[in-house]
Structure 1
Amino acid sequence: MTHVVLFSGFGSQGKDVDEGLFDRYPDLNAAAADTLGYSIRDRLRADQGTGPLDSPSNQAAAFVVNAMKYRARREDGLTPDIVMGRDLGEYNALEAAGVLDFGTGLRLVRLRAELAGDTDGAMAAVLGLTPEEIRAVLRSADLRDLVFTSLNTPYQSVLSGRPCDIARAEDILLRAGAYDVRPIAMGRPFHSPLLAAAAEKFRDALRGTTFEQPRIPVIANCTALPYRQESTAEILARHMREPVRWHESIRWAADRFPQAVYTAIGDQRLLLKMLRQIFAESIRSGPTGEASRSPVRIPSY
């Protein structure tokens, strides 16, 4: 049986974080405080993960909490064969595969957040339309500066761009058939060309970082293919300015390991909902008998 572990990104450090994790892993708590200059535990107690999801403190908290939750699952017997992380969760996936250590991952997460800090933008999730339908609507409305930030499922995508363009697109997309367009509480347009300059600075900073060969496959957001040691720095730089190809990443695993078991770390509800949508659409659209290569088991942990 193949076990695929998925890490969520922004929002993993929500109000329901078990404070017992910080008692269980005091070494990670202390290492994070040494790197950041403040206590993640105290910060979460103070603001409970409020504010923009992409603030440096919230990104650092998401990485640390995911790392603690993963260690807890490992101690309970979880042994992954493949890992992938959505958005910020990609750094947890790389740590889980031995590509980088906890301290390096946290340092890079903080750095990319700081580099993105001077770029303003807005993001919105579009539900109920395919990417092709969204592209057609944006072209007809002359909203060509809006780009895909994340391709999550066949009928759920995220757009980013200037706040005025996002606001204008909302009503247009709803009239075109989207059943919801949801603004996302982020002030930085991650995974879009608006962060190209920040991504170049990040690439320069990555030159001094050593990355190990992955012990197990890590599926990259921006390529939907496994990482290779020699291209890790380049992929992480691209990760800042290219869309998250989550749907394709899940399909990479499902097509090769049709009986895989998926475990979600972090925001389990969101990740498992996306998985069910991806596999449900595959069953509807595939040839009779062929798309039922999922009974993919999705534990509700």
Structure 2
Amino acid sequence: MTGIAVFPGQGSQTVGMGKDLFDRFPDICATADRVLGYPIRELCLGDPERKLGRTEFTQPALFTVNALHYMAHLADGASVPDFVAGHSLGEYNALLAAEAFDFETGLRLVQKRGALMGAISGGGMAAVLGADAGRVRAVIQEAGISTVDVANFNAISQTVLSGPSDDLERLRPSFESAGANVVPLNVRTAFHSRYMRSVARDFAAFLDTIRFMPLVVPVISNFTALPYRDDEIANNLVKQIDHSVRWVESVQYLLDEPDPVFVELGPGTVLTRLIKDIRQHPTPVNIARRY
């Protein structure tokens, strides 16, 4: 059996997340309060000022709750996983589990990432359901719209697009004619696209101040859909910001391991559902192993 821990990203947050975990790990909560400058428990459990849906607050909160889920997973007797992976923000929890950095360093990373990403506005995102990635790309090309990027290859039947909101809406009739549904996402920014390049540049400068440790568990990268090398952590985290999340290929890579067993550690079951979809549509993995 190959044990695989996966961590969800932005969009999985919900008021009340982590309610059974904060009291178990008070040191983590104290560290989060000190670094962030506000009470993390209050934000996650009550959200009295309705900030949890704002990127600059979502990312540190979700990173903290994902970390608590992982710590509880181990404390309850689970073994250290054989592989880890995370979707977008969740990749930071995968790297934390692999000991690339400690909790405080990881929290400072996502605090900066969230602040940079939250400061960008304009554009939007939409999920295309019921068409595979090849068909999605063909429809975009046939429509003659060159301003839209693929943000997330989430599942065989789910691809998320980023770009100008008007152009995403212009694509809707073309996708509907192709038998797909288009669901606009509740975001005001075109994440994981060319429109995040300034954020990637600024984050790269911040990462120059961070020292990463050798990984103790293989981490699958969103950017390459392959295991990280120790010398490419900063590069992959920068590229992740303005490139596609290759979740389908990442899961396909892991499904090629002997008897893979996935456990999602975080609020909700978004990744569990995506993995189920990918399992039901087997596709040959055509990316070479590195080791």
Instruction: Mark yes or no: TM-score above 0.5.
Output: yes
Give the alignment partner of residue 148 of structure 2, picking from 146, 149, 164. 146
Offset, 1:50? 5.6
Q: 2:82 aligned with 1:81, yes or no?
A: yes
Question: Which AA in structure 2 matches 1:33?
Answer: D
Query: Is contact 2:16–2:44 with CA below 8 Å preserved after alignment?
Result: no
Query: Is contact 2:15–2:46 with CA below 8 Å preserved after alignment?
Result: no
Query: Is contact 1:52–1:187 with CA below 8 Å preserved after alignment?
Result: no
- Secondary structure of the corresponding residue to residue 47 of structure 1: coil
| Structure-1 residue corresponding to 2:251 | 250
Whole-angstrom distance in 1 between the partners of 2:240 and 2:55:
17
- Secondary structure of the corresponding residue to residue 109 of structure 2: helix
| Structure-2 residue corresponding to 1:298 | none
Q: 1:18 to 1:103 in 2, by over 3 A?
A: closer
Query: Is contact 1:150–1:159 with CA below 8 Å preserved after alignment?
Result: yes
Deviations 1:58-111 (A, max 9, x none): 111111110111111111122211000011100000000000111111111111
- Secondary structure of the corresponding residue to residue 124 of structure 1: strand
Q: 2:276 aligned with 1:280, yes or no?
A: no
- Secondary structure of the corresponding residue to residue 276 of structure 2: helix
Q: 2:110 aligned with 1:113, yes or no?
A: no
Q: 1:48 to 1:281 in 2, by over 3 A?
A: farther
Aligned-pair identity in percent equals 38
Q: Which stretch of the first structure deviates more once superposed, 114-123 or 68-77?
A: 114-123
| Structure-1 residue corresponding to 2:171 | 169
Deviations 1:244-276 (A, max 9, x none): 000100111111x13111101124421111111
How do 1:98-247 residues align onto structure 2 when only pairs under 5 Å count?
98-116=99-117, 117-178=119-180, 180-247=181-248
Whole-angstrom distance in 2 between the partners of 1:72 and 1:246:
25
Whole-angstrom distance in 1 between the partners of 2:42 and 2:52:
18
Offset, 1:15? 2.9
| Structure-2 residue corresponding to 1:64 | 64
Q: Which stretch of the first structure deviates more once superposed, 39-48 or 205-214?
A: 39-48
- Secondary structure of the corresponding residue to residue 20 of structure 1: coil
- Secondary structure of the corresponding residue to residue 222 of structure 1: coil
Cα RMSD over matched residues? 1.8
Question: Which AA in structure 2 matches 1:172?
Answer: S
Query: Is contact 1:13–1:65 with CA below 8 Å preserved after alignment?
Result: no
Q: Which stretch of the first structure deviates more once superposed, 203-212 or 108-117?
A: 108-117
Whole-angstrom distance in 2 between the partners of 1:4 and 1:254:
10
| TM-score relative to the length of structure 2 | 0.92
Offset, 1:171? 3.0
Question: Which AA in structure 2 matches 1:163?
Answer: S
Query: Is contact 1:7–1:90 with CA below 8 Å preserved after alignment?
Result: yes
Detail structure 1 runs of 4+ shifted over 6 Å in the superposition: none
Offset, 1:177? 1.0
Q: 1:53 to 1:109 in 2, by over 3 A?
A: same
Q: 1:47 to 1:248 in 2, by over 3 A?
A: same
Whole-angstrom distance in 2 between the partners of 1:61 and 1:34:
13
Offset, 1:230? 1.1
Query: Is contact 1:12–1:65 with CA below 8 Å preserved after alignment?
Result: no
Offset, 1:53? 4.3
How do 1:26-65 residues align onto structure 2 when only pairs under 5 Å count?
26-47=26-47, 53=53, 55-65=55-65
Give the total of aligned pairs. 282
Q: 2:10 aligned with 1:2, yes or no?
A: no
| Structure-2 residue corresponding to 1:289 | none
Q: 1:177 to 1:5 in 2, by over 3 A?
A: same
Question: Which AA in structure 2 matches 1:115?
Answer: L
| TM-score relative to the length of structure 1 | 0.89
- Secondary structure of the corresponding residue to residue 10 of structure 1: coil
Offset, 1:51? 6.2
Deviations 1:217-249 (A, max 9, x none): 000001001111111111111010110000100
Question: Which AA in structure 2 matches 1:212?
Answer: M
| Structure-1 residue corresponding to 2:288 | none
Q: 1:138 to 1:83 in 2, by over 3 A?
A: same
Q: 1:48 to 1:64 in 2, by over 3 A?
A: farther
Offset, 1:10? 1.0
Structure 1 stretches lacking a partner, 5+ long: 287-301
Offset, 1:54? 5.3
Whole-angstrom distance in 2 between the partners of 1:97 and 1:121:
34
Whole-angstrom distance in 2 between the partners of 1:217 and 1:67:
17
